Amino acid sequence: MNTVHLAWMLGRPSSTRGTSQILTVSAYAMVGAMLLVVLGGAYSFTSFEREAQAAYLPLAGFAVVLLAVPLMVLGSAAARLSARTQDRALSSLRLLGATGGQIRGVSLLQAAGTALAGAVAGVVLYLACSPLVAMIRFQGAPLGDAIYLPWWAVVAAVAAIVLLAVISSLAGLRKLIITPLAVATRQSVPVPSWIRALVTVGSVALLFFVFTNIGVVSQEIGTIIAVVILGFGFGLLILNLAGPWLVAVVGRSKLKKAVKPEQLLAARMILENPSESWRQVSGVAMASFVAVVGGSGAALMSMGNGQEPTGSWFDYLPQDILTGVLLTLVITFVCVAASASISQSASTLDRADLYDGLHKLGMGYEVMNAARTKSLMIPALTASIGFAIASVVLVLPLAGVAVLLKPLTVLVVILAVVLGLVLIRAAISVANPRRLLAERVAGHSGGIKIGEG
C-alpha cells in the first residue's frame, strides 16, 4: 500500500473524527482569512499620500508583527490537534514495522492536505469579509478596494500556512520516529526557573530607565520612534519569557488553596505543563500589552492634536491609531479564542484515558468541564493582568499624563480586553469532554475495518 493511499485511509472524513477534523480545517481557515485581512489592511495604506505612508506603514508593519504571534499560535494549535487525532494510529504503524520515512510521509501529506483545504476556505472567507473590512475608515474615508491583495500575495499566504502545518508536523514527529512508544508515555516536563522572573524584572527596569531618559538618547523624532518601538518589542519578548514561570507560580498557589475537586484538577492541569498553558494564552498577554501601550499612545496623540485642524493627513492620525489598536485587539482575541478551543480539544483528546478513569470513579463530566475551563481561564487572567501591570510601568514615562487627562481612550481599550476574555470563555465550550469522548468511544466500538476504501 503506497503512502498516499495510506494517508487518505487514515485522514479521510469520518464520523468518529468529525469534531476534530472540522475544528482543524476551521482553524486553518481562520488563520488564512485573518492573515489576508491583516495583510490587506497594511497593503491599503500604500494608497495614501507619500507623507502619510511614512507614518502609517511602519505602524501597520508593527501591527502585523504583533499579530503574527496569535496567528502562529492558532496555526500551531490546528497542527497539534491534527497530529493528536492520528498519533496513536501512526505509533501503531511504527510498531508494525513502518519506517520513519513512511510515517513522516503519511503525516506530512495529512498535515499539508488539511492545511491546504483550510487555507483555501480562508481565501473564500477573506473575499466574503472584504466588503465589510473595506468600510473601515482611515484618513477620514473608507479603505475601499485598496483592501484587496494582489493574487501573488494570496498564493504566498496560502503557501505559508501549508508550510507552517508541515513544519509543526515534522516537529511533532521527531519523538514518534525516535521511539514508537512515545505516544503512550507521559514524561514530566521541566519546571520554569525563577531566573526567568529575575531577567524580566531587570529588563523592565532597564527599559523604564531608557524611556525616562529618552530625550538624552536623541532629539530626532525618527530615532525616538524607533527606540520606542524596539523597546516595546524587546519588552514584549522578555515578558513572554517570564510567562511560563508566572503561570507555574499561580498554579501552585491555586493547588494549595484548592477546596473543590474542579479546583484541584484545574491546578494539576496547569502544572502538568506550564509552558503549554502559557502558550495557549500568550495572545491574551500580547493583547493586554498592546491595549495599554496603544491606548496610551492614542491618548498622547489626542493631547498633541488639540490645536486647530491643519487640513493635512496628520489630523486623522490620533483617531486612526485608536482604530488600529482596537482592530488589533479584535483580531488577536478572535485568534486566541479559536486557538483556545483547538488547544483544549487536543488536550481533551490527550487526557481521554484520564477523563474516562475519573468518570468510572464517579466524577461527573460537569466537574471535569469546570476544571478544564478553569485551567485555561486562570492562565488567561494571569497573563492579562500581569502584562497590563508591566506595560503600565513601561508606558508611564512616555504617556503617564496623557492617561490621566484622556482616560476615556484607555477605558475603551480596557473594555475591549474584557470583552475579549468573555469571547475566549465562550469559545472553549466547544471542547466539552462529554462530546469529544463520546466520539472517541464510538470510534473504538466501531472497530478497525481492513481493506475498506
pLDDT at residue 127, rounded to an integer: 93
CA angle, residues 172, 177, 179, in degrees to nearest 5: 110
Enumerate residues 6+ apart whose C-beta is below 8 A from 46.
53, 57, 146
Q: What is the pTM of this model?
A: 0.74
Cα(406)–Cα(112) distance, integer angstroms: 49
Distance CA 428, CA 143 (A): 33
H-helix or E-strand spanning residue 137: strand 137-138
Contact status, residue 252 vs residue 272, Cβ threshold 8 Å: no
**pLDDT score for 125:** 94
Backbone dihedral angles phi then psi of residue 136, each to the nearest 5 degrees: -65, 135
For residues 397 and 20, what is the distance between their CA atoms, to the nearest angstrom? 47
Q: Is the dihedral of CA 170, 438, 117, 122 positive or negative?
A: negative
Q: CA-CA distance, 188 to 284, in Å (whole number)?
A: 26
Given a contact cutoff of 8 angstroms between Cβ atoms, the answer to whether 248 and 234 are in contact is no
User: For cell 491618548, what's the residue?
Assistant: 299
- Would you state the cell numbers that stand for residue 183, as one nine-digit string? 505516544
Residue among 114, 89, 93 nearest 1 (CA)? 93
The answer to whether 80 and 172 are in contact (CB under 8 A) is yes
226-234's contacts with Cβ under 8 Å and 24+ in sequence apart are 228/398, 229/58, 229/62, 231/207, 231/394, 232/289, 232/293, 232/394, 233/62, 233/65, 234/203, 234/207
Q: Which of 70, 83, 62, 80 is nearest to 31 (CA)?
A: 70
Query: Which among 233, 239, 172 has a CA at the least distance from the CA of 199?
Result: 239
Q: Mean pLDDT, consecutive 10-residue segments, the chain of 453 residues?
A: 60 57 81 90 88 83 76 73 64 65 73 87 93 90 90 92 79 50 49 80 81 68 66 75 88 90 89 82 77 71 62 79 83 80 74 79 85 87 82 70 65 75 79 67 45 39
The count of C-alpha atoms lying within 13 angstroms of the C-alpha of 7, restricted to the half-sphere facing its C-beta, is 19
Q: Is 214 helix (H, G, I), strand (E, B) or coil?
A: helix
